[in-house]
Structure 1
């Protein structure tokens, strides 16, 4: 069954994008982009249009909603989709990375943020706890930051990738950090002494990395349909081609490898890369995987908003955890092997009993309140709806990925304190008024504001542009 067509009202009024048919997410040069790709790995025709990933996250939070009960014990603090999760060895802390460019260390005992880590200039796509208790964050800005708890700045910054970093893995002995990037490479970073290494071989974006339990090999997967097992001492990688582009990989304690594909199938392989089984987790792309510490369960998160719980020994789907509807981008088990954390496009982190499928927590909360509820019936508000996941209308709201629009009119472009703007925007002589905002969406950001991270988007109808600018006039006034 086809999912609902996602219409990005303000951000893209001339195109529709069906996230249930977009088998994979890609990034082109410069802005984040989403391009539909078939399970065969071939890019689908979209009339020459590529959709911005930032737009995708903004619009999907508004456009996708299922009438289901939300999970309990939500950790709410991010201003954008939760792209990554990691748990500490003692199970007391959780590290999350978000599209809002921040990472947060949480206390599960108090269900509160212990520390907010701000360094990256773009989405934080991968996080990890290190063996010594420190933390690693990696982002779409192609950088890795190493943090000590309580410090406001990173201890170290690793640079070298030429594209977004989307996955991290720590070696079993804690001596090495591995990273997967959309520059088609895997890199190994020594956390003490040693030399950096670059592993080349993938022909497209690398989406996941995981060490084998003995620490002698590293597994990587990518859009090129290949799984590669790299010996870390010497020798060439073992390369296996699978039927679908691969978005995620995890390795069980006994060395069995699990991969998640854009076709919704979970495939299992031996440590020698021999396929031993496959399970259909769902009809939409798998975007994240986690294996419980005892090796019994696999959690597979999908772009359709569900998390499939799979019995690894029985090779069967035992239950499906259904969240609020938007994509679930990240999953992680606690050390007890029974508690599962999920992070989604709505910016929430939820806890589940993976053995029963029941949510965990003491109070029930529905999905996030509609920030535009007060503007019911306002046509301009509906045009703006696609942007509510990225932009706030008030400074009192939790910051999101984009700059707040509070006090927009009369403000010079790229002048809002505390937000990182490109140098190109800082040099422009534009003051935001109803006229300049209307012009922005008449000709498109690439023409009106070259160098912007905004997607190429236009609002064709003059009456729609007028409705939007009128709405912003009263909704953003201080």
Structure 2
């Protein structure tokens, strides 16, 4: 772990980069269900309904790895330390990943319904999971049996450790907050007026819970209610507290994100996106920059002090790899692939292999890239026809066992335009 001073320096350097460096992250083939940011502000992980997680470089706006293990949606993600991440799925499983490994180090099984929230203890030794099986589990990362916390009588939608590591807070659709002392004592149970979808805790221990009535409820660790803020007229489905404790981000199912002054109990501004559900929010260490993941399949970056988006899905400037193809329909279709693939041999591989010279190459034969074992057994040669078929049927159907996020292009005209673009952009000179 890097020191607080070095973390602040790293964040400052990121914020000084040109606007193109703040481009949004596009790579998932389905809604982005969860996001988490590393303590150094340079890496993030996202989970999606497309069954994959993606580990991102926030300095390069590129996918470092696509992680595939779960049988269905990845609903929860967490960063354990600089080398490890955790993902929780609709399949009830938790996968622990180490950087550079295409398969999990190990998986944690015991839940009997979807996992929807993960939290790492402040000492990094325990992972907590919340599930729709109405239970919470505390898993020792060194191994051993999980401790099971029962008591909620509806889906448990959120779980978070207090910053001192002495308590765990859970939020449930049964309209209760439970504050669990980790010394084995009985939990404090607080009933609120509405089902609860998310929970976060400030550095000094104030609880912020997102309700189905569009409000954020504020409580102390003693269970006493301290206030509430009406944020939206639709359910709040994700909340985060800034590292310095000054702000709360509360995302609604209709797509807006309220930025709240925690001390004054008021809305400072509203971040307005494409009007689709925002499933996850996470603050950078600077306490002003926010990542959001939503139904539009993007991870967006925001300045919460101004309300502005930082960058675009891909900036059309000097750093845009597709600037030379401005106006080409196929290049616009290809923008969904930029985060994972490069076009020239100088840029090399990202989470996916470079596409330079793809036509005429047999699948899984590019030197220097770690392909899935299943792909190495296939006998596909990439041509206009086979690449088009990949996107018509979807990677998971056409190339089972792939790590590629699920992406389909339903329009034949768009597929043809993409093939025209790839023939020009990937041809060997």
What TM-score comes out, normalization by structure 2 length? 0.70
Corresponding position of 1:418: 400
2:248 matched to 1:248? no
Corresponding position of 1:108: 58
Change (3 A) 1:232 1:398: farther
Change (3 A) 1:355 1:395: farther
**From 244, 247, 255, the counterpart of 1:297:** 247
**From 385, 406, 412, the counterpart of 2:393:** 406
Match of 1:214, SS?
coil
Structure 1, unpaired ranges of 5+: 1-71, 375-393, 408-413, 421-470
- Determine the C-alpha separation between the residues in 2 that align with 1:88 and 1:290: 15
- Determine the C-alpha separation between the residues in 2 that align with 1:202 and 1:134: 30
> Structure 1 segments of 4 or more deviating over 2 A?
361-365, 394-399, 404-407, 414-417, 471-478
Contact kept in structure 2, 1:78 and 1:398, CA below 8 Å: no
- Determine the C-alpha separation between the residues in 1 that align with 2:308 and 2:78: 26
Corresponding position of 1:322: 272
Contact kept in structure 2, 1:406 and 1:476, CA below 8 Å: no
Give the C-alpha shift of residue 193 in structure 1: 5.1
Corresponding position of 1:426: none
Higher-RCO chain (CA-CA 8 Å, sequence separation at least 6):
1
Note the 1:393-472 alignment, pairs <5 A.
405-406=392-393, 416-418=398-400
Corresponding position of 2:140: 190
Give the C-alpha shift of residue 145 in structure 1: 0.3
- Determine the C-alpha separation between the residues in 2 that align with 1:259 and 1:299: 11
Contact kept in structure 1, 2:388 and 2:415, CA below 8 Å: no
- Determine the C-alpha separation between the residues in 2 that align with 1:207 and 1:297: 22
Alpha carbon RMSD of aligned pairs, Å? Answer: 2.9
Contact kept in structure 2, 1:79 and 1:398, CA below 8 Å: no
- Determine the C-alpha separation between the residues in 2 that align with 1:259 and 1:297: 14
Corresponding position of 1:28: none
Change (3 A) 1:236 1:150: same
Change (3 A) 1:472 1:293: closer
Match of 1:293, SS?
coil
Contact kept in structure 2, 1:82 and 1:97, CA below 8 Å: yes
Corresponding position of 1:348: 298
- Determine the C-alpha separation between the residues in 2 that align with 1:113 and 1:246: 33
Structure 2, unpaired ranges of 5+: 1-21, 317-327, 334-384, 403-409, 420-429
**From 96, 103, 107, the counterpart of 1:153:** 103
Corresponding position of 1:120: 70
2:161 matched to 1:174? no
- Determine the C-alpha separation between the residues in 2 that align with 1:370 and 1:279: 45
- Determine the C-alpha separation between the residues in 1 that align with 2:223 and 2:397: 53
Give the C-alpha shift of residue 473 in structure 1: 9.9
Give the C-alpha shift of residue 329 in structure 1: 0.8
Corresponding position of 1:459: none
Give the C-alpha shift of residue 154 in structure 1: 0.3
Match of 1:273, SS?
coil
- Determine the C-alpha separation between the residues in 2 that align with 1:340 and 1:92: 13
Change (3 A) 1:112 1:129: same
More off after superposition, 128-137 vs 140-149: 128-137
- Determine the C-alpha separation between the residues in 2 that align with 1:76 and 1:96: 11
Corresponding position of 2:365: none
Contact kept in structure 2, 1:130 and 1:170, CA below 8 Å: yes
Give the C-alpha shift of residue 133 in structure 1: 3.0
